[in-house]
Structure 1
């Protein structure tokens, strides 16, 4: 297991094969997929994503990586982070929690720790996140941990058969020092 970091009772680590069944199951939930780029999710898609990350170095510029958010004691997958290494100084993040783990403060704790990891351990200058304007839980989480809303794109994306609007958020390392 390749652990990235631990915060209290949570561990953020690279995905393992054991995670894929739970990962596929919560991604297949309609409410989870509503604001995501996928509509239906299968174990085959989860395995394909896992395989696509193999052989790449975490932090490789231009690539996306998924990281597992797990309960440290049980190694149970609770959710995941997506991270895109835009360039040497900037990253984009996304997050998804399984429905049964939402509303318990897990995302806030994990995201705060992830931000600290990115700024302090990886020495990133800037983190961005983009969310659907209708995804209140997502943008409220971003604001709760200190992200600034930088843009409101109106009907900028044709998504699942309709035009949608997005908020873009940003956070600088200097804002967390």
Structure 2
């Protein structure tokens, strides 16, 4: 008998190769290149740039108010580590790349991550942890993420999953945050 609940957060391995992050974000954005989609509903990507921290490369991604910035800290010339201080992450789920966004809302006086109990109040979808390849002293499974898109899916499915993520985030903000 398993002691793991089916809705318990699952740990996913972070994708931490800069070229792969570029490719996957471009794949996600390409799913929205249909002419019937209004410009305001299409993802906006900014090219990789140096982040606020030294040794950090930042990719900025936003769609319909949902930000999913991804930051990799350079560990060595060939090794990178996901910085959980930003909202977005790319990870592998069952051998398939997925785009994720942290569960947090703006709360006075500061931003706050949502707990699994709070997340359960706005969705039946189980959250994920994202584990970096190079660990620090702090626990790697401290932030919960939601699925934004399965990047192996069709453009229609990617768009629907992204819309669902926006709706979940809006519900969480309305319930636990302030605008």
Could you say which TM-score interval applies, normalised by the shorter chain? 0.3 to 0.5
**Larger relative helix fraction:** 1
| TM-score for the superposition, normalised by structure 2 | 0.35
Higher relative contact order (CA 8 A, sep 6+): 2
